């Protein structure tokens, strides 16, 4: 007969015995207000266009975007991040449609603002890649390279027109050096001191952006390795973080989320501003594709990925499942 003293006294399993017990001692909780919905609005369409690589996600019309914003608000989602998709004929080397007050993104901001007012945080992608005929996030120099400082001038213009349209938060995603400072100055000098900046502080040159390229009708030739971060580097992100904060970032982001949870955790430990993470198109597509094959439980996998991102330190998560998940929480 085994002596009683040989049995373990400490049994962590006691705190896992029932769903109620596990819920009570959970260290990380998801809430609808943690979630932000990225949404695409395409110029010149009458019906939503499904995105093949992202089942369940569409390029919205102006009308269906307004409906999606209301649905997100009613589900308790905190915000919506808008991406404009112009007609191909309007793309040019300077991304002119991105700074046209009547460009698709600016129109969409006004539409959503008219629909939900200040009840939903309206965010906008501040980048040129959707609007350039070469697909890069900035203007090119004579040698075909992205001209950082010339691009900053364009970003300042974009910030102004997006703010004029009524956006609450701009999200500069181009990874140009000095972009946060230039945008902050442009906003402040045009009477938009209350518009916040969500800095894409650590945006990595990732293989997981593929489906997004379809979503925005990207015309990209080549790659973005000279301005997006090298996936091998962590300290580089902390340098970018320090610069963004010094330049006036109100919030910071790590993108992608899942493959860079270590970066996210390090950033979250280092700052006293809100931290976001973007669960990008490739992360979404992997779960949807595996679930379609019957290889994983879709709903459980979605919640597990989001909980992991939240546990790593993200206070806000941009995810294409935002409205769906918010309804279930």
- For helices 104-116 and 62-75, angle between their N-to-C axes, nearest 10 degrees: 40
203 is catalytic: yes
CA distances for 126 relative to 1, 155, 249, angstroms: 71, 7, 14
Closest CA to 154 of 234, 109, 94: 94
255 is catalytic: yes
Q: Say which DSSP state 114 is in.
A: H
Query: Pairing mode, if any, of strands 58-60 and 49-50?
Result: antiparallel
Token pair for 199: 């800095």
Check 255, 266, 293, 300 and give the catalytic one. 255
Neighbours of 92 (CB within 10 A): 13
- Tell me which of 90, 91, 113, 203 is the catalytic residue: 203
Contacts of 67 (CB under 8 A, 6+ apart): none
User: Cα 317 from chain centroid?
Assistant: 8
Q: Vertex 146, ends 144 and 147: CA angle to 5°?
A: 110
To the nearest 10°, report the CA torsion of 186, 188, 189, 192: 90
Active site residues: 203, 255
């Amino acid at each position: 007969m085994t002596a009683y003293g040989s049995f373990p006294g400490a049994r962590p399993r006691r705190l896992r015995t029932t769903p109620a017990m596990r819920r009570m001692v959970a260290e990380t909780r998801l809430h609808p207000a943690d979630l932000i919905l990225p949404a695409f609005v395409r110029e010149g369409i009458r019906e939503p266009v499904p995105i093949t690589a992202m089942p369940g996600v569409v390029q919205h019309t102006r009308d269906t975007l307004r409906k999606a914003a209301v649905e997100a608000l009613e589900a308790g989602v905190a915000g919506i991040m808008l991406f404009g998709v112009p007609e191909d004929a309007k793309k040019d080397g300077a991304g002119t449609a991105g700074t046209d007050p009547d460009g698709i993104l600016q129109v969409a901001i006004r539409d959503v603002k008219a629909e939900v007012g200040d009840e939903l945080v309206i965010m906008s992608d501040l980048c040129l890649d959707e609007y350039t005929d070469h697909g890069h996030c900035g203007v090119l120099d004579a040698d075909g390279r992205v001209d950082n400082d010339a691009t900053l001038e364009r970003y300042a213009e974009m910030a102004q027109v997006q703010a004029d349209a009524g956006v609450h938060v701009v999200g500069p995603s181009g990874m140009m050096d000095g972009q946060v400072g230039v945008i902050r100055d442009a906003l402040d000098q045009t009477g938009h001191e209350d518009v916040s900046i969500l800095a894409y502080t650590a945006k990595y040159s990732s293989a997981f952006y593929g489906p997004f390229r379809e979503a925005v009708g990207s015309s990209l030739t080549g790659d973005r390795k000279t301005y997006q971060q090298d996936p091998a580097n962590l300290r580089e992100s902390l340098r970018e973080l320090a610069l963004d904060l010094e330049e006036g970032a109100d919030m910071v982001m790590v993108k992608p989320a899942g493959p860079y949870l270590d970066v996210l955790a390090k950033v979250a430990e280092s700052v006293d501003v809100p931290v976001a993470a973007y669960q990008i198109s490739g992360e979404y597509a992997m779960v949807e594709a595996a679930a379609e094959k019957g290889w994983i439980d879709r709903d459980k996998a979605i919640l597990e990925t989001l909980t992991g991102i939240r546990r790593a330190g993200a206070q806000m998560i941009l995810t294409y499942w935002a409205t769906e998940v918010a309804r279930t929480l």
